Amino acid sequence: MRLKYQNGFIFEGHTFVVDKSDIRNAKDEQFVEGVALLPEVHGRWIYVPKETDEGCDTWRCSVCGARFVTEFGFEEQSFCTECGAEMDGGEGE
Ligand SMILES: [Zn+2]
């Protein structure tokens, strides 16, 4: 498994987050900038036509299965906002 360095914040000295808003009601001074070594995850968006009744396009993350419903194109999203997987196809090394 490949690892990558991820810049983020350490909350109260023990919890690593990329986005400070992941921890509710936390104050800025409770964070320090930090770096974590995380597994490098690659995935891709799986197009699921007409999964919903609204007629919108649906995409699923191939890593965590998170579902995103869009009315417009979705290609500009380069990573999964749920699990952080990079959407570069997951092939090639
Ligand atoms: Zn995901």
- Ligand 1 center to 57 CA (angstroms): 17
Would you write out the chain's pLDDT as a tens digit for each of its 93 residues? 678 888 999 999 999 998 999 899 999 999 999 998 888 889 998 888 766 666 677 888 999 999 887 666 555 578 888 888 888 865 544
pLDDT of residue 92: 46
- Ligand 1 center to 85 CA (angstroms): 6
What pTM does this model have? 0.54
pLDDT of residue 49: 75
- Ligand 1 center to 26 CA (angstroms): 25
pLDDT of residue 75: 58
- Ligand 1 center to 93 CA (angstroms): 20
Is the torsion defined by CA of 37, 64, 59, 55 positive or negative? negative
Q: Give me 53's structure tokens.
A: 């009744």
pLDDT of residue 52: 60
- Ligand 1 center to 88 CA (angstroms): 13
pLDDT of residue 81: 81
